Structure 1
Amino acid sequence: MNKKQLTTLAARKAGVSQKYIADSLNPVLETIIEVLSGGNNITIQGFGSFQVKTMKERKSRNPKTGELIVLPERKVVKFKLANGNQVK
């Protein structure tokens, strides 16, 4: 599901316009991105948590050439669904 589909579905459920949902959702998403970019974690009670993790440097292969390369250490975001919520 992409952002447009999400706003369409949410607008239907809430009985409001898609523009209203998009105007409300955009600042929330921007704030989440800013907080995570700063290296901080976010927990939304009843929804889940976003955690910034550091992946260690590792060796890999270039799929085209087979050449051995070293991937540098990097930060990634992991999402964990809150307890009680299940993906169906």
Structure 2
Amino acid sequence: MIKSELVLKIAEKNPHLYHRDVERIVNRVFDEIINTMKDGNRVELRGFGAFSVKERRARTGRNPRTGESVEVTEKRVPFFKTGKELRNRLNGKD
């Protein structure tokens, strides 16, 4: 599912809301998650999962095409851990 499909489904289930308002709400939720993670904080959606940021140290990597050594700088990467309810529903344990 892509973001536009999510907006469409929410708009269909909530006919009292305008499509443009649903789109703004979805964008705002995503923006808040991103901004919170950007500040190094964790976002937990109970039953769904938790978004957090992991730090990757600088290291020496290897270019797979040439075999040449390459310096990889440190970076922050997003991490998602599923919640118990999501895992159970995916595995048919409603």
TM-score by length of 1: 0.81
Question: What is the Cα deviation at residue 64 of structure 1?
Answer: 3.4
Could you tell me how far apart the structure 2 residues matched to 1:45 and 1:8 are? 24
Q: 1: CA distance between counterparts of 2:14 and 2:80?
A: 25
Aligned ranges for residues 30-49 of structure 1 at < 5 Å?
A: 30-49=31-50
- SS of 1:85's equivalent in the other structure is helix
* Residue 3 in structure 1 maps to residue 10 in structure 2: no
* Corresponding residue pairs, total: 88
Partner of 2:28: 27
**What secondary structure is seen at the aligned counterpart in 2 of 1:46?**
coil
Distance in 2 between residues matched to 1:58 and 1:10, nearest whole Å: 44
Which structure is higher in helix share?
2
Return the alpha-carbon distance in structure 2 between the equivalents of residues 17 and 36 of structure 1.
29
- Displacement of 1:11 after TM fit? 1.9
Q: Measure, in 2, the Cα distance between the counterparts of 1:4 and 1:79.
A: 22
- Structure 1 gap segments, 5+ residues each: none
Tell me the C-alpha RMSD between the 2 structures.
1.9
More deviation, 56-65/35-44:
56-65
TM-score (norm 2): 0.76
The Cα shift of 1:17 comes to 4.0
Letter aligned with residue 20 of structure 1: D
Identity of aligned residues (%): 32
